[in-house]
Amino acid sequence: MAASKKLPSKFFHIVKARSTAFFALNVLLINLFLPPHKVTSAVPATLQIGWWTGAGVADLSRIDVQGAAGETLQAAYYIDDPSTYLAKLQQANIKVFLEVNRDAAASGDTEALTTYINAYKNYPAIAGWMIYDEPEQSTVPASRLVDDYKAIKAADPNHPVAAVFGMRSCTYIAQRIDRKYFDAADIIMFDTYPVMDQPEFDTTVDGKRSFSDYRYIVNDCLVYAGSLGKPFVIVAQGFQWGSPGPGGGSNRNPTYAEERYFTFMPFIRDVAGLLYWVDYHADASLTATVNQVMSEASAVASVLLHGTYNDPEVSVDSGDIGYKYGVDGAHTYLIAENDSRSSLTVTFTLPVSVQSISVMYDNYDVSTQSYLSRSIPAVSDPSGRSTFTDMFAPYQVHIYELAAPPTMFANSRLS
Residue ranges for the chain with pLDDT beneath 70: 1-43, 404-415
Taken in order 22, 24, 26, 29, the sign of the CA dihedral is negative
H or E stretch covering 235: strand 232-237
b (16+ CB within 10 A) / e for 374-383: bbbebeeeee
CA 246 to chain centre: 25
**Beta carbons of 3 and 55 less than 8 angstroms apart:** yes
Length of the chain: 415
pLDDT at 409: 38
Write the pLDDT tens digit of every residue in 202-248. 999 999 999 999 999 999 999 999 999 999 999 999 999 999 999 99
pLDDT at 266: 98
Specify the DSSP class assigned to residue 253: P
Write the pLDDT tens digit of every residue in 280-311. 999 999 999 999 999 999 999 999 999 999 99
397 upstream amide cis, omega within 30 of 0: no
**Beta carbons of 74 and 86 less than 8 angstroms apart:** no
Q: Tell me the CB-side half-sphere exposure of residue 1, using CA atoms within 13 A.
A: 12
b (16+ CB within 10 A) / e for 34-54: beeeeeeeebeebbbbbbbbb
- How far apart are the C-alpha atoms of 320 and 339, rounded to whole Å? 5
CB proximity list for 268: less than 8 A, separation 6 or greater = 304, 309, 322, 323, 324, 335, 336, 337
pLDDT at 86: 98
Burial of 283 by CB count in 10 Å (0-12 exposed, 13-18 middle, 19+ buried)? exposed
- Domains in the chain: ranges and CATH: 8-304 (3.20.20.80), 310-409 (2.60.40.1180)
Burial of 61 by CB count in 10 Å (0-12 exposed, 13-18 middle, 19+ buried)? exposed
b (16+ CB within 10 A) / e for 228-246: bebbbbbbbbbbbbeeebb
Give, rounded to a whole angstrom, the gap between the first and last alpha carbons of the chain.
34
CA nearest 55: which of 109, 91, 100, 12? 100
pLDDT at 293: 98
Q: What is the DSSP string of 373-402?
A: -EEEE-EE-TTS-EEEEEEE-TT-EEEEE-
Taken in order 41, 47, 53, 59, the sign of the CA dihedral is negative
- How far apart are the C-alpha atoms of 308 and 111, rounded to whole Å? 45
Helix extents (H) in 269-383: 284-299, 301-306
Write the pLDDT tens digit of every residue in 29-57. 344 334 443 333 356 789 999 999 999 99
